[in-house]
Chains A and B, each alone.
Chain A
């Protein structure tokens, strides 16, 4: 790792640790912190700083903003999980809306692949949101902790396949004509792609949708392995389609949270701006930083947030 990379990584870790570790000190005295002692802009500014760094880390670590946002903000800030999930979905939705048009125009995100998958995922996200809002908070918090730790394991173990071998398209994907062509920019190679195991893949999106809605996490962490490893879509198509897919899945779940009242603009806008600006900076840093170390760090932070969510849910 070059000096520059180390410097960046240390700066990010320092800033992130400072904000995340210092805020619980305020949050511990949440009754006091929530009601007074600080000017109204204190928490929105802290939220902006943390989400800005989160946006950088999310890009460098190859994860969505939503998956970092919910466990970290619910674990270390005085906001109730209901509002964190509502905001988390809007944060993930905005990121997907910002990326979606470009990915569709470049034909990297495939509408033909997304439409059937999105129908299942968005329907199940509604069910997930309804379950998540109906369950007691500590149960959701415990389940969130377990899910986050599961995501860490998935990030550590899941392999990726640039262009998976799909000997033959299955009958359902053939009937739906889920296939396409794209040009690999680095090599100029034209890649003809198709998918297989479509019924199984669609079945998996039942679970992915429920989890996305229940925890407000976004679901890129699950979409990509499902599309790439299970259904056999090329990695670039899977990543792009997954990002676009979030704009549909999170729309359905976000409406449930918005209609329930789980939206406080003073939380939403600083979070949204923070993540978006952080992502812009992250994309620029991506050119000079080696993301492997950052990815390990993101997994570490997620694991820490997962344990925190578990302990909070269990009342420790």
Chain B
């Protein structure tokens, strides 16, 4: 009885797996973000928008900012990673993307436990988050 209660108190295998991936992704994302921010602010990598010019843009709405700074939205930052400001997007993308990985990783465990409903819910979540991340859901003012 005591053993059964102790088992119930423990997190499920898929929950532990999710937590482990989330933890690693979070540390990796933060570490990369801090390093790249250092490269940016200490001038080790030249930024696309000079540091003393950034304040000219942040009071614009996003459309005007993109237009005046001649920046493309979506995943265009991947082609601008040589710049100190855009390299920061690697950390931001990892922090924003790790949840998708967590969901995808628990699907086999859920299926193994014959938890089909939750496996389907997890797959749908992966599809929804991936759609958001892909940039196909574009909006404008």
Contacts and interface: CB of A to CB of B under 8 A. Distances in A.
A186 B121 CA distance: 35
Contact of A104 (B18, B33, B37, B135): B18
Nearest to B50: A40
Interface stretch (A5-13, A245-253, A284-292, A298-306): A245-253
Interface string B89-130: 100110111111000001000000000011001101100110
Contact of B57 (A38, A111, A264): A264
Interface in A73-115: 78-83, 90, 93-94, 97-98, 100-102, 104-107, 110-112, 115
Interface in A224-256: 247-248, 251-256
14 contacts: A35-B55, A41-B41, A43-B55, A78-B55, A79-B59, A83-B62, A105-B15, A115-B118, A126-B128, A136-B141, A251-B132, A259-B138, A268-B92, A269-B33
Nearest to B15: A111
Interface residues of A, number: 74
A40 B51 contact: yes
B-side interface size class: 35 or more
Contacts of A36: 55
A34 interface: yes
A255 B11 CA distance: 29
A190 interface: yes
Interface stretch (A51-59, A60-68, A175-183): A175-183
A123 interface: yes
Contacts of A195: none
Interface of B: 5, 8-12, 14-16, 18-20, 22-23, 25-26, 29-30, 33-34, 37, 40-41, 51-52, 54-62, 65-66, 71, 73-75, 85, 88-89, 92-93, 95-100, 106, 117-118, 121-122, 124-125, 128-129, 131-133, 135, 137-141
Interface of A: 30, 33-36, 38-41, 43, 78-83, 90, 93-94, 97-98, 100-102, 104-107, 110-112, 115-116, 118-119, 122-123, 126, 129-130, 133-137, 175-176, 180-183, 190, 247-248, 251-256, 258-269, 272-273
Contacts of A134: 139-141
A181 B6 CA distance: 9
Contacts of B73: 259-261
B89 A263 contact: yes
A32 to B, nearest CB: 10
A111 B74 contact: no
Nearest to B125: A119
A247 B96 CA distance: 9
A268 B56 CA distance: 17
Listed residue (A100, A102, A253, A260) with the most chain B CB atoms within 10 angstroms of its CB: A260
